[in-house]
Amino acid sequence: MIRTPKKPTIDTNRLLAPLRAPGFRRLAVGKGVSSLGDWLMVAALVGWVYGRSHSTGAVAALMVVRLLPPILGGGIASSVADRISRKALLVGSELGAAVAVAGVLAGVLVESLPLVFVAAALCGLAATTGAVAANAFPPLLVKPEQLTGANTILTVAQEIAMILGAVLAGVVLAAGAAPLAVAGNLVTYAIAVALYARIPRSDDSIVALSARRGGDLGLRAGLRYLRSSRALLGIAASLAVVTLATGLVNASLPSFFAARGLGTAGYGYGLAALAFGSLIGQLALDAATERVETRWLAWSMAGMAALFVCLGAAPSAGLALAALGLFGCANGVFEVVLLGAVQQEADQRFHGRMFGLVTTLSRTTMLGAVAAAPLVAQLGTARTPIFAAAAALLVGAWVVVARLRTPALQPQAA
């Protein structure tokens, strides 16, 4: 008798297993709520700034202001993330960001663009430290076999926060109540602090761990450690290429979709398709495996390259949105694999510094790509940066494969 193969099913118990750990549950909910408030405020500020100035230059300036401080923040996080407990770093970053958001609220109420820009920059600086701590925290809160699920939950929570925050911001702006969106972000920070403060102090002191083993907790030691590991260098290279490629495409999407009849709303539709696809990709990866492999970074990059080619060649808006959604799936897989790869390849004492360096690298390449996109577009049409991004991803995938195939060196924990 021939048996019909069983259809693959999603094991929800395994998917949700990390949430049974009280510490991780509070981390995930707190991070999701905090991200929701951030997206609510940022989306509302973009609309408020444009309504106040009627200048796309002012909006671009706000984006740059939000992008530049995390570059510095990633460096600061690399210096302090392994010196103090993850819990203290999370609580401190949320409180610092809350103070900065209070400044944003004051600027909106008095209609002062300079005050809003300065306070938004300080908020981005503080929030980066918290993001580094959150990425480095899961290995201390869940079992090793639950790590992929934990990373997936954190990334999915941020995708959902992005979607909900943008929608809520639209509702608030339609009602002419931009200060309400900023005040709402303050509320989300208060909730996050309350949740983070209740995370059990298990083995969250990396200082104590390093003291038992010996070693330098400074940033230079982190850089030496990164340079001594071919796997970590390959991971860093993959992230640099992906952020460069996505930055080129992101800056080109408004004109690309406008040329396909979607007008100014096309960019928003594209972001929604990207976020939805990313969410699906992250959930699919977690359903498929309990442990990620570093080499999957290269495969996901190759997939993203192929989908960028499909995006650039798409003759209609519908096909372009479908290609962007599928790209989001591959990008979602990349994000989860990246988190797991750093956590697996780096010694636990260096997790904070590695994620801090990764954050600095991603923000720097993204900023460079956004600046380069208009120059690349002048070489052809709105499709040119998209095809250039696809080529960069293919080259990057080959570089990552070459690095990972080379026999690894033993990282030096100086």
Sorted by where each begins, the domain ranges of the chain are 19-195, 218-406
- Please indicate whether the domains covering 19-195 and 218-406 agree at the CATH topology level: yes
Query: Could you tell me if residue 230 is left (phi over 0), alpha (psi between -120 and 50 degrees) or otherwise beta?
Result: alpha
How many CB atoms within 10 Å of residue 94? Answer: 25
Q: Taking the alpha carbons of 222, 226, 229, 235 in that order, is the dihedral positive or negative?
A: positive
- The predicted pLDDT at position 242 comes to 85
- The predicted pLDDT at position 99 comes to 93
- The predicted pLDDT at position 106 comes to 93
Instruction: Spell out the CATH class of 218-406.
Output: mainly alpha
Residue pair 39/165 in contact by the 8 Å Cβ criterion: yes
Paired tokens of 238: 């993959």
Residue pair 294/344 in contact by the 8 Å Cβ criterion: yes
Residue pair 202/140 in contact by the 8 Å Cβ criterion: yes
- The predicted pLDDT at position 346 comes to 74
Query: Could you tell me if residue 214 is left (phi over 0), alpha (psi between -120 and 50 degrees) or otherwise beta?
Result: left
- The predicted pLDDT at position 100 comes to 92
Residue pair 343/147 in contact by the 8 Å Cβ criterion: yes
- The predicted pLDDT at position 267 comes to 63
Placement of tokens 């998917």 in the chain? 15
- The predicted pLDDT at position 2 comes to 42
- The predicted pLDDT at position 7 comes to 45
Phi, psi for residue 412 in degrees, rounded to 5: -95, 110
**pLDDT less than 50: residues of the chain:** 1-9, 203-214, 406-414
- The predicted pLDDT at position 61 comes to 72
Query: CATH number for the 19-195 domain, one of 3.40.50.11540, 1.20.1250.20, 3.90.950.20, 3.20.20.60?
Result: 1.20.1250.20
